Amino acid sequence: RGFINAFAALSDEMTLLYPVKDGKTAEGLSARVRTIPVAYEKSRFRKFLDLLAGRLHRYFGLFDQVLAEGDFDTVVFDSCYASFRLLEKARKAGCRIIVTHHNYQCEYVKDNYRFPIRPLMLYWTRKAEAAAVRGSDLNLTMTQHDLSLLQRHYDPSRKAVFRVIGDFEYESVPVSMDREPVSDPVYVITGNLGMMQTELSLIPWLEEEYPVLLEEEPEAHVIVAGKAPTERILTECRKRGVEVVDTPADMGA
């Protein structure tokens, strides 16, 4: 949402193709954004066949239609996956091309996919990531480390254009430093708790920062909520009395 609204602020008009599941639509977007939800209602077997064929996203066909109907000057692809086999179409339409990279994606695949999906994902991810880096006018990364990895693997001659943009909220909310202290404050940490990246960031926080929080706010209660927590996350949270909500049906509850 932050990136969508940032690009909308730089545009006169913007059309967003976005993935939708269970009929849930995008919220909190700029009024400038025209939204087109795109479902992917296929069986697991059909999705596996798509992966075998390198169909890494749901936008084939519809992207061509929207591109032909509009008068676009810039196309922004969110990740190398969304750009795969569409980047050339945007180029032929005379559009500038921006790709946002949220990781060095091959590293993410190695950490979070298992056999037999992992070798297939690695094969197509390398192709998609290389095409995105080399074929876009601008590559945006979250960190300098991501930029260095992408250059090392796909752009040793340094011909591609990169910028580190970081991560951010689409608007700043002023916080008063004079607010009254909250009694028995509750902190909630959310995310996919089955992912290696979550484990590698959450556990160091529990070890190093959670004690600091308790020193400052002894009555603080921390809740960790998300999908399929790993056994290590469960163990480390139990050791510290941190509540874990495993795969909540409704995060709002």
Over residues 122-147, the pLDDT tens digits come to 999 999 999 999 999 999 999 999 99
Q: Round to whole Å and give the CA distance between 139 and 247.
A: 34
- State the greatest distance between any 2 C-alpha atoms of the chain, in Å, as a whole number: 60
**Nearest Cα to 130, choosing from 151, 157, 114, 102?**
151
User: Dihedral through CA 227, CA 232, CA 233, CA 239, nearest 10?
Assistant: 140
Q: Token digits for 145?
A: 């480390």
Q: Round to whole Å and give the CA distance between 106 and 91.
A: 25
Q: Round to whole Å and give the CA distance between 210 and 240.
A: 9
Bridge partner list, 38: 19
Residue 251's pLDDT is what? 65
Peptide bond into 174 cis (omega under 30): no
Q: How confident is the model at residue 171 (pLDDT cuts 50, 70, 90)?
A: low
Q: Round to whole Å and give the CA distance between 72 and 198.
A: 37
Q: Round to whole Å and give the CA distance between 141 and 148.
A: 10
15-27 average pLDDT score: 87
For the ranges 8-12, 37-41, 110-114, 149-153, the one whose mean pLDDT is highest: 149-153
3-state SS assignment for residue 100: strand
20-24, 88-92, 199-203, 232-236: range with lowest mean pLDDT: 20-24
Q: Is the confidence at residue 202, as pLDDT, over 90?
A: yes
3-state SS assignment for residue 208: helix
Q: Round to whole Å and give the CA distance between 248 and 237.
A: 17
The crossing angle, in degrees rounded to 10, of helices 44-52 and 117-135 is 50
29-54 average pLDDT score: 92
202-223 average pLDDT score: 94
Mean pLDDT over all residues of the chain? Answer: 90
Beta strand extents in the chain (DSSP E only): 14-19, 33-38, 74-78, 96-101, 138-141, 162-164, 186-192, 221-227, 243-246
53-75 average pLDDT score: 93
Residue 173's pLDDT is what? 46
